[in-house]
Amino acid sequence: MQEVRLEVNGKRISKDVPDQTLLSELLRDILNLTGTHIGCDTSQCGACVVHVDGKSVKSCTVLAADINDSKITTIEGLSQNGKLHPMQEAFKKHHGLQCGFCTPGMVMSAIDLLKNKKNPSDQEIRDWLEGNICRCTGYQNIVAAVKEAANKS
Amino acid sequence: MASMIGSKVERKEDKKFLTGKGRYTADINFANQTYAYFVRSPHARAQIKSVDISKASKSKGVIKILTGEDLANDKIGGLIAGWKIVSQDGKDMKVPPHPPLAKDSVNYVGDHVAVVIAETLEQAKDAADLVNVNYKILKAVVNTSDAMKSEAIYEGIDQNLCFDFGLGDKGKAEEAFSKAEKVVSIDLVNNRLIPNAMEPRASIGDYNPSSEELTLYTTNQNPHLTRLVLSAFNGIAPEHKFRVVAPDVGGGFGSKIYPYAEDAVVAWAAKKIEKPVKWVAERTESFLSDCHGRDHITHAQLALQKDGKITGLKVETIANIGAYASLFATVTPTYLYAPLVLGLYNIPVAFCNVKAVFTNTAPVDAYRGAGRPEATYMIERLIEKAAKELGMDRAEFRVKNFINKFPHQQCLVHNIDSGDYSAHLNKALELSDYKNFEKRKSESASKGKLRGIGFSTYIEACGIAPSAVVMSIGAGVGLWESAEIRFNATGNVSVFTGAHSHGQGHDTTFAQIVSDKLGVALENIELIHGDTDKGPFGMGTYGSRSLAVGGTAIVKACDKIIDKGKKVAAKMLEAKPEEIDFKSGEFVVKNSNKKKTIGEIAFACYLPGQYGEIKSPLPEGVEPGLKETAFYDPINFSFPAGTHICEVEVDPNTGETKVVTYTAVDDFGTVINPMIVEGQVHGGVVQGIGQALYENAHYDKSGQLTTASYMDYAMPRADNFPEFKIAYTSTPATSNPLGVKGCGEAGAIAAPPAVINAVVDAINTEISMPATSEKVWDALQNKKSNREAA
């Protein structure tokens, strides 16, 4: 067992977990933050993307015990005082989601893109989101949503 | 209040999904839950000589291990094929037994052998490794084209042939070909696909020993039918003691229409051990055991006059349905395929033969479009080839053969009520700037690229389906839909539908219909679906049926509410019911300003009588309450159609093919929410382009699935696509009061032939799907060496 100490969505947590516990498992199974989804076993789909110290990371690629004292933001921690994050608003406005399963990872990735690049082109958005698979939307409205969020930020 | 029909309303369901509050099956947990892990066959075909669980049973945390023998002892029935197909010789189709846990033989890699239930998932997995199955490995039948010549997999099913189905007039078709001035033929493979909804399948069984009620939470598009099948055929629990809940479901695309072996086993096991049992698929399990799609081999011929008029069509198809006949496996390559081979052309005679074969591969069932993409790929590839051989323009050739009078009784099955095919073709020609294609081709050539253009003018039959018709051709159920409108006393409305939303946005679209009909604000309408304990029995969501059939049931239930409301309003307003008009949420006495809102009427229905200020007597004979149910059985299918035009650029040095422009003009009849419809088109087109350029389920000779992860199965990704151009034309359906036709599958149906026609146009040689860089490069090299040899 390993002690894991993190700040998750602004709250300090400390848990003893088996050594092999992935960050995605910690979030879903131990902290009950089920907004982070598991869509594959090979770190390909991107449904589990969260922010670790502000950077987008596939949480299924990280051992929880390896990132002690990090700050984690999950999809549940984005909206503040009941107000949606501009990226969440833009996804809603542009119908950037259908079944919603890939959405948390997609939103978390897209937010990190805008931290790296203020006004990305369509192609830059598409290239950045290459690691997030969506089977429903055909991506076009996701690109539109990210552009809108970029314009507003 | 402005009309809600045609309004781009943001989705009611989005907030929960965007804030991580969606509740998918894998998100549900119970206090004392146990974990299931399946022991699956590593072999494509083998006899099970013995299953030894003695060592595994002693493994830490193990609660129970169940095998095919336990299942047989408990008399749990097999999974069923829901549609009986009759062969040309009048004999019924042949199907092997499909026990949820195999007892005597396994027939594909991933087939279910045993389930281990333990206190933790890791313990269940560890113990599963200790289950010792003694197999006698047999030679697997893998290939679609060889299946009929191979050793029979099942005793009594000669040539591995499920059925040999024929539709149309063979004699007349032969006659048309004997008189034909020109015959064009094509050989096609429709590649096997894996649906890959992003949410892997999951099931949780929860048994309540006190009430003897069993609940199954499952990733499913069709909870009522799932309960019916698991109850009536598998004998898991009687329907009145069995609840099936399909909560938020992360995409389906057909792969979640029916119960799977895991559903039956998890529900049965939960009842047996009287503890909740949870199973969540790993992605590789999804690849191996979700039903796959497509997998056809087809030879087709078109008979023509010299002037380009089509006089006949012959189609021969072998459809690989995998190891077992899944629930919709037999209807998909027959009645969902064969009637559609005519496309939207006026073809006077046709004959379509479909031989369905068993192989040692995962079962094949409905996948987005189900039969219609296969039919459309065949006819649209053939049409484009014919135009080229005749030296006619591809658009002109199509127009010459389009159906142009409605209703039109086709020579096979369908009576098409409405359409205007030249309208969407012309709009697509304009939007895609077809007339300047040659200029763009030269520009590409100057960069060393080969540019091609491809068309697909498609039709589909949606809104499945008139029960009397489908039951007369083998369906095991009617395909109506239900709706219930419950007005609450405080004026808000609960709407129950038998359809199921797993991305389609029913919460919003269906609420728009109710809002429009009853004049209630959207925020006061809640749609409830996916729970057999809540709404009335329904037939679920697939085949672009929800709006045409389920939406119509909602309209009918709203009409009943209005009828009752008029009677109550008449009494309260001291008028006759026939003097009451209902508009925008108000019951008004004709030619007066006397009125009651629908909210006041609902209140009166729940508080009938006089009490202080409340004066709401109900008319004599009118029952209290305001709740109406409607069951709607459609009178016909609906027939969406459209034109999609694709342009590709091929790099001859690498074979890489890029879709550079894509134009879709669709006729879906009336559109309720254009934003949602557009999203459905985008998603469908990407799945269609995925089939054409990237996706392929591949089994090696021994029956191992070599594309069983996202490392090996090429999913379409954001950077594969340009921005699509989308537009609509509209000829409302005449078969339902909304005039809607269905839009969910159109993109997946239209795109594959549009893309491949474009690739063939670019490289000027045949190519099969998926047109990967390697294949395209090979095709170009072969062409070059053939030319050099000649």
Q: What is the pLDDT of residue B2?
A: 65
DSSP for residue B11: P
Contacts of B52 (CB under 8 A, 6+ apart): B131, B132, B133, B134
Which of the listed residues B632, B664, B693 is the one where a domain comes to its end? B632
- Would you state the pLDDT for residue A113? 98
Mean pLDDT of B556-560: 98
- Note whether B229 and B124 are same-domain residues: yes
Are B269 and B386 within one domain? Answer: no
Pick the CATH number of A2-77 from 3.40.50.300, 3.10.20.30, 3.40.50.720, 1.10.10.10: 3.10.20.30
Identify whether the C-beta of residue B347 lies closer than 8 Å to the C-beta of residue B408.
no
Q: Are B334 and B403 contained in the same domain?
A: yes
Q: Does the residue B181 lie in any domain?
A: no
* Same-domain pairing of B495 and B518: yes
Strands, sheet with B627-632, edge to edge from the N-terminal-most edge strand: B525-528, B493-497, B481-487, B627-632
Q: Does residue B233 share a domain with residue B346?
A: no
Give yes or no: residues B651 and B741 share one domain: yes
CA distance B116 to B200: 19
Distances (CA, A) of B278 to A27, B50, B121, B552: 19, 27, 9, 37
Instruction: Mention every residue, 6+ apart, whose C-beta is less than 8 A from residue B346.
Output: B310, B401, B402, B403, B404, B408
In a domain, B585, yes or no: yes
Q: Are B30 and B217 in contact (CB under 8 A)?
A: no
- Cα distance from A141 to chain B (closest Cα, Å)? 7
Residue B5 maps to a domain = no
Choosing among A140, A143, A146, A148, which should be mutated to test the B contact, i.e. which has the most B CBs within 10 A? Answer: A140
CB-CB: which of B710, B719, B724 is closest to A44? Answer: B710
Asked if the model's pLDDT at residue B789 lies above 90, the reply is no
The predicted model gives B751-761 an average pLDDT of 98
DSSP per residue, B307-353? TS-EEEEEEEEEEE--SS--TTTTTTTTTTTGGGGGTTB--S-EEEE
Domain of residue B42, residue span? 14-138+201-280
Domain count for chain B? 3
**Is residue B752 included in any domain, yes or no?**
yes
Judge if B573 and B497 occupy the same domain. Answer: yes
Q: How far is A5 from chain B (nearest CA, A)?
A: 23
Any idea which residue has 């390909």 for tokens?
A: A44
**Claim to verify: residue B404 and residue B339 sit in the same structural domain:** yes
What pLDDT is attached to residue B787? Answer: 83
B30-57: pLDDT as tens digits: 999 999 999 999 999 999 999 999 999 9
Residue of A nearest to B11 (CA): A92
Nearest CA in chain B to A44: B710
Q: Which residue has the higher pLDDT, B354 or B468?
A: B354
Q: Is residue B169 part of a domain?
A: no
- Looking at B605, B632, B659, which one is the last position of a domain? B632
Alpha carbon of B114: minimum distance to chain A alpha carbons (Å): 22
Q: What is the mean pLDDT of residues B66-71?
A: 98
Chain A interface disruption, residue of B16, B19, B694, B726, most A CBs within 10 A = B19
Determine, for residues B18 and A88 on separate chains, whether the beta-carbon distance falls below 8 Å: yes
The Cα of B20 is separated from the nearest Cα of chain A by a number of Å equal to: 4
Question: Tell me, what's the pLDDT at B1?
Answer: 56
Q: Return the amino acid letter for A57.
A: V
Tell whether ipTM is more than 0.90: yes
Tell which of B632, B660, B676 closes a domain: B632
Ordered per-residue pLDDT tens for chain A, 153 residues? 999 999 999 999 999 999 999 999 999 999 999 999 999 999 999 999 999 999 999 999 999 999 999 999 999 999 999 899 999 999 999 999 999 999 999 999 999 999 999 999 999 999 999 999 999 999 999 999 999 999 987
User: Residue B550 has what pLDDT?
Assistant: 96
- Residue B625 sits in the same domain as residue B644: no
A95 contacts on B by Cβ (under 8 Å): 10-11, 675-676, 678-679
Whether the pLDDT of residue B753 is over 80: the answer is: yes
Residue to substitute from A42, A111, A135, A137, interface B, most B β-carbons within 10 A: A135
- Taking the CA of residue A50 and the nearest CA in chain B, the distance in Å comes to 12
Any domain includes B459: yes
pLDDT band at B784 (very low <50, low <70, confident <90, very high): confident
Whether B365 shows a pLDDT value over 60: the answer reads yes
Give the CB-side neighbour count of residue B725, counting CA atoms within 13 A.
Answer: 18
* B618 falls within a domain: yes
Specify whether B717 is located in the same domain as B597: no
Architecture in CATH for domain A86-152:
Orthogonal Bundle (1.10)
Residues B309 and B429 in one domain: yes
**B196 part of a folded domain:** no
pLDDT at B790 over 80: no
Q: Residue B547: give its domain's CATH number.
A: 3.30.365.10
Answer yes or no: do B719 and A36 touch at CB < 8 A. no
pLDDT at B711 over 90: yes
A 45-84 → B contacts, CB under 8 A: 45, 47, 74-76, 78-79, 84
The pLDDT tens digits of the residues spanning B495-517 come to 999 999 999 999 999 999 999 99
pLDDT of residue B477: 87
With an 8 Å Cβ cutoff, is A1 touching chain B? no
**Tens digits of residue pLDDT in A97-110:** 999 999 999 999 99
When scoring A99, A109, A124, A134 by the number of chain B Cβ atoms within 10 A, the one with the most, hence best to mutate, is: A99
Say if residue B615 is in the same domain as residue B678.
no
Q: Where are the domains of chain A?
A: 2-77, 86-152
